[in-house]
Structures are given as C-alpha cells and as structure tokens.
Amino acid sequence: MQRSIRGATTVDNNDKAEILTATKELISHVLTANCLDISQITNMIFTCTKDLDSVYPAAAARELGITHAALMCFSELHVEGSLPMCIRLMINAEMDATQDAVKHIYLRNAKSLRPDLVNDKDTERKFFQIAIDGPSGVGKSTVAKLCAKELGFAYIDTGAMYRAFAYYCMEEGIDVDDAALVNKAVNDAPIEIKFIRGEQMVYSKGQLITEEIRAQAVAYATSKISAIHSVRERLVAMQQDIAKGHNVIMDGRDIGTVVLKDSPLKIYLDASAEVRAKRRVLELEKLGHKTDYQTILNEVTDRDYRDTTRAEGPLKKADDAIEIICDNMTAAEVCAVICALARKRL
C-alpha cells in the first residue's frame, strides 16, 4: 500500500555541504524510524524556504543511493513569520504499515512545526552498522556496495584505505617490508576518502587512485603493511570516525572483530581459494591485465595464510557472525540474504 511520510529539518547557513548533510540526516531518520529500505520508495518531494538556494536537497537522496525513485524540489510558499532555513520532505512509499502507524520525523528547529508528531524516540540517533569480513577475493566489496544501495546505507570500503597507503608507499619507494620506514610515513601519508554521487573515491597526494589500487602488486603489498600496528591504528581510527553518525556497511578483514565490535549484524563471507582465484583472474582480465591462474591461486593462498596468522587484526570469524559460503552464489543472491537479515534486525 502507498503511504506518505512527512519530515522537516533546519540548517544554520545557506551552505551546500550543510544542506546536503542535514537532508541526509533527515532521510536516514525517516528510513530507520519506519524500517524502510530505498527499494520501497516511489517518489520524494523536497521544499526549501526562500533563504536556501545553494543546492537542490534531492542531491542528498541521490548520494544516498536513491536513484530509482522520482525526486522533485520546490520553493516553499513564503509566509511572513514562518520558520526560516527549513527543508521539508514528503516520501511516498510502498509499506505494509497503516497510515496512522507511519512515523513522521521533525529534526532540529523544525520540531516546532509539528510538536504533536514529534517523538524523541523516533529522532534519537539510532544508527545501524553492518560488518562484512572474509578472505581476499571473496566479493565483499561488490556485495557491500549492492547492500548499501538497497538499504540506503553509506558504504565504507576499508580495504581501499589500506590499499591506498600501500600504493603510496610503492610510489614513494618505501619498502613495505621495513616496518620502521612505514611507521615514519603513516601519519603524514596524504590519503583522502571522498564520497561523490554516493561512490567512495580514494585519493593520494590529491590524485584519484581508485582504479590503480586494484592492481595485484598493490594487493600483495597491502597484506604486508596492514600487519603493521601503526598503520592499523591510524586507519581503524579513520574508519570508526566515518562510521559515527551514519547507517553504514563496512567490509574488510577485522571489521566485526576490531573496527565495529558492537555491530548488530556481522557477516563472514567465504569461498574456496580456487573459486576466488578464478574470480580474480576474470576481474584482472576485464581491466586489461594479463594473468596466470596458478600464479593468482598461489598468491591467494599465500595471502590467506598471512591474513589469518598476522599478529595485528588477523582474519577470523567473529563469534556472533553469520557465515555465508558463496562459491555457488551470485553477488545479488548474497545481497538479498544480507538485506533480509538487516531488515529483520532493524
């Protein structure tokens, strides 16, 4: 059944970044309070008061992965003495709940618009974290991205951060086997993570390196530098900081055991080394790289050994993680299983 959900929030300045952040916060609260995922949304209508014109608030929805719903932005009718700096939202979605069970969300100064609908329990920061761990080449990043789009969560590719630092070391001629040299470089490494149209982009020294860090040589170096305490300390802190205040899905080697130990949903995704090697060969061939299956298989098994035996954050299944063996599953099938689990726990 079609249901309508109302919401509103305010900002302090007519600033693009501030408007987008506030709008994302509002949308996330609406989705969480109503146990709604983005596939249920049919359309969203945004209005802004006349003092806000630096960006269309619908851009925030697109950045959250809401790409199939119809979006429209309008100017709010100006009435003397009305609440300034206000963003209003109406979402129409397919829901099983009755209309009177729908939770409307009013944040910040917008709470004064409809005090009769404001329930502080609905507007508490109830952020949901999904942790996905598993060995190299199992498809964690692909699955996590699909789940993020489906659920409207922010996707954090933690492995890309380690790859970025490994790439930086290789470009600077820093021996990744020399822990002392790596220790000196880690705090000053100019690694940046940006989100553009909902996609995570990785930069080193101001240059986009999202594709370059997927090379097999970088993957091999990554396994070495990720075992160094100072590297893990800096990057784990960065990951935890990003996860604050957002519904997130993260994948890596120790997300459920170290980074997001309190995550309400932990997944351990696994597949045989042979299947993972075949997938890696196909991935590299698509990128135009010549590959040898046996060489890739040897690298996969070698990395598995190093990842599971390293002293810092070894790869292992968290005690409360749900294991998914995906040898004979597509990424879409794995995504469906994880999203179903997430909706139940939400």
The residues annotated as belonging to the active site are: 6, 62, 73, 76, 88, 106, 114
Beta partners for 203? 192, 208
Cβ partners under 8 Å of residue 219, min gap 6 = 136, 163, 299, 303
Detail the DSSP E strand segments found in 211-258: 248-252
Exposure of 81 by Cβ count < 10 A (0-12 exposed, 13-18 middle, 19+ buried)?
A: exposed
Distance of CA 147 to the CA centre of its chain: 9
Q: For residue 199, how many other CB atoms are within 10 A of its CB?
A: 14
Beta partners for 89? 7, 46
Q: What is the DSSP string of 294-307?
A: HHHHHHHHHHHHHH
For residues 8 and 106, is the Cβ–Cβ distance under 8 A?
Answer: yes
Return phi, psi of residue 345, to 5°. -80, -25
Instruction: Locate 37 and state its tokens.
Output: 């995922």
Instruction: Locate 180 and state its tokens.
Output: 């002392």
